[in-house]
Amino acid sequence: MSKVDIVKSDGAKAGSIDLDESIFGIEPNIPVMHQVVTGQLAAKRSGTHNTKTRAEIRGGAAKPWKQKGTGRARAGSSNMPHWRGGGVAMGPKPRNYAQKTPKKMKRLALFSALSDRAASDNILIVDTWDFESPSTSRAQTVLNAIGATGKVLLVIDANDTNTEKSFRNLPNVHVLPVGQLNVFDILVSDYVVFTKDNLPTFAKTTETNSMDNKENE
């Protein structure tokens, strides 16, 4: 297993921890990551686009001119798609873009993304967050101390409100509860920061999957 240093909020070393090889040490599966990210982005689409067909355009019921004798092309309605102000032929309608992605594929993509960041030494482990009250300025100081530069994904506990409020206003930081960790946010971040308590392990993921299966029964 590969070891990663555990650092305090002031940057001082507080020990080391072994990363779970089944999560942080696999060969990244790029096609699976691509498919899962594509599904994530598709699910974010609102799908509210809408165009009117010729049946939905107001007016146009009367025939513009008689069928014969005018020298012009035949016309049955002013709502025809090739007329200005007419309906749209085969235009977009509201739809759901969500894709069904198997759980095993999502898990493999997540482990692949984490392994890719671990291979680049871009996984940081903090001992604990000790924000007694929200402080954005101190949050920036902490990031500088632990060496988190560029785009940072900060993984926190769901009930750690002081840490969330401290980091969420920083433009280069995305704060995410550990239960919402996903492939897209990992891949668009330069560094992923965990605490030693919420660091993913195979035992934790297995327990979470078991609970999800029981809820779905």
Same domain (yes/no): 126, 38: yes
Dist CA 69 CA 189 (whole Å):
70
Range of the domain at 207: 3-46+99-216
Same domain (yes/no): 192, 103: yes
Tens digits of per-residue pLDDT, 153-174? 999 998 899 999 999 999 999 9
What is the CATH classification number for the domain harbouring 105? 3.40.1370.10
pTM over 0.85: no
- The beta-strand segments (E) located in 43-200 are 123-126, 152-156, 173-177, 191-195
pLDDT bin (cut points 50, 70, 90) of residue 2 is confident
Same domain (yes/no): 115, 146: yes
Chain-centre distance for alpha carbon 111: 15
Domain count within the chain: 2
Tens digits of per-residue pLDDT, 37-67? 999 999 999 999 999 999 999 988 899 999 9
Same domain (yes/no): 131, 70: no
**Final residue of a domain: which of 91, 122, 156?**
91
Same domain (yes/no): 86, 149: no
Dist CA 60 CA 80 (whole Å):
9
**Final residue of a domain: which of 60, 91, 122?**
91
Same domain (yes/no): 28, 111: yes
Which residues lie below 8 Å from residue 153, measured CB to CB, with a gap of 6+?
173, 174, 176, 185, 186, 189, 191, 192, 193
Same domain (yes/no): 171, 204: yes
- pLDDT of residue 89 exceeding 90, the answer is yes
Same domain (yes/no): 72, 178: no
C-alpha distances (whole Å) from 24 to each of 107, 116, 118, 151, 158 are: 12, 8, 6, 20, 22
Residue type for position 2: S
pLDDT of amino acid 149: 92
Same domain (yes/no): 118, 56: no
Residues forming a β-bridge with 107: none
Same domain (yes/no): 126, 40: yes
Same domain (yes/no): 141, 57: no
Same domain (yes/no): 158, 80: no
